[in-house]
Amino acid sequence: MIFLRYESFRSYLKLYPVTSTLIALNIVYFIVVALNGNPNAAYHAYRFGAFATDVSFDPFGLQEPWRYVTSMFMHSGIEHLLFNMFALLVFAPPLEHLLKHVRYLIFYLLCGIGGNAMSALVNVLENDLEGHIGVGASGAIYGVYGAFLYISLFRKSQLDESSRKTVYTILIFGVIYSFLVPSIDLWAHVGGALAGFLLYNVFDRVKTRKNYRYS
């Protein structure tokens, strides 16, 4: 099963430098935010870079677009952080190996942005006048799951049966859990997963064309 991790700490850092760096940045920034106040307080989170939209004035958060990225490295509490970092630690390395480091980093960031964009879009469609504050790496992590869903459906030879079942289970559990817990942004998860599915399709097609060209 590709999601089981057997590497030593040193080997993990060497083999998956982007994932290691992302985990480190999330932890460091959480400490910075927590030392300066309550990371679960909306205004405090906003001050430190949370994704924010307002249906009346800035429905898609485009006045401060950098929040699409900074919010991906913020978490509302220690449980939120640990849950997401465990998922990143375990499930992201095989994708970094498949995409290689630079493409994987681009993929990860775009999935996080896609999750925030989907959340903003749904808030606009629902005409949520209370505004929206969002933090967390979940959109990007669900992008990783979306990529593996694509692989499970269209590149089955790259995943063993146990790994495919794990992908399906995580996605089903994630959707159910997102519905049950009000504080979780379901649409950020959906947007991230959709972005991951579509982006991996693009990367896969590009790779296939290159292999065909040079064969």
pLDDT value for 181: 79
Residue 108 identity (one-letter amino acid): Y
**pTM, 2 dp:** 0.94
Name the H helices within the chain. Answer: 9-15, 17-35, 42-47, 67-70, 78-99, 101-125, 138-154, 161-180, 186-214
User: Long-range contact list for 104-109, CB < 8 A, 24+ apart?
Assistant: 104/18, 104/19, 105/18, 107/143, 107/147, 107/196, 107/199, 107/200, 107/203, 108/18, 108/22, 108/140, 108/143, 108/144, 109/69, 109/72, 109/140
pLDDT value for 29: 98
138 in active site: yes
Contact, 143 vs 114, CB < 8 A? yes
pLDDT value for 213: 60
Tens-digit pLDDT string for the chain (215 aa): 899 999 999 999 999 999 999 999 999 999 999 999 999 999 999 999 999 999 989 999 999 999 999 999 999 999 999 999 999 999 999 999 999 999 999 999 999 999 999 999 999 999 887 889 999 999 999 999 999 999 999 998 889 999 999 999 999 998 888 888 778 899 999 999 999 999 999 999 887 777 656 55
Residue tagged 């959709």 (tokens):
194
From 138, 152, 163, 178, active-site residue:
138
In 3D space, the residue among 91, 72, 90 whose CA is nearest the CA of residue 80 turns out to be: 72
